[in-house]
Structure 1
């Protein structure tokens, strides 16, 4: 998890704990306090679900972007390797031609 997501989770947890403690120490009737705790818990759950959804979306888009970047880099590597292989083959063909010519000269002189 990144630092920003840890910070968001920490802030949400602190908010929930603070709201719960505030409600518990407020001078209200028990039924009203329980209802407020329930309402606060549901609101916190909704905030957490929204935050998790946002984080999921961010991670998904980041992964998609990284995949595209990786695909592009892979295509570049394959293209470069292909060109290098062609250069190596051309060099080897020239060297083979030179060696054949030297071999002909050596066979004629022998």
Structure 2
């Protein structure tokens, strides 16, 4: 996020500098206003483009993170199921041994 703030600061500084340069340049008022509007549109387009790029990058990172989460959840479920099978087998073995012991004592 720091690079986004730096980029925004650089773009804002460039916009202020360009507008100040236009305002202090000796030119007709209508032409100066047109130049300001044109520069403003250029900077707005640049900001929109950078916003779209950042959105795409964040979206990709989000999707990658979600895939990793899904993989971890699946791995956790698999380990849980394996543990439950082992518990069931251990309980079954214990019950069988108990039954065998009861039968031997009868």
TM-score, normalised via structure 1 length: 0.86
Corresponding position of 1:17: 16
Aligned twin of 2:45: 46
Give the C-alpha shift of residue 105 in structure 1.
Answer: 4.2
* Deviations 1:58-106, CA, capped at 9 Å, x for gaps: 1111111111111111111111111111111111111112222333345
Unmatched 5+ residue regions in structure 1?
A: none
Unaligned runs of 5+ in 2: none
Q: Deviations over 1:24-65 (max 9, x none)?
A: 122222112111101100101110110111111111111111
RMSD of aligned alpha carbons: 1.4
Q: TM-score, normalised by structure 2?
A: 0.89
Describe how 1:1-110 pairs up with structure 2 within 5 A.
2-106=1-105, 108=106
Q: How many residues align?
A: 106
CA distance in 2, matches of 1:96, 1:7: 68
Q: Distance in 1 between the 2:11 and 2:58 partners?
A: 20
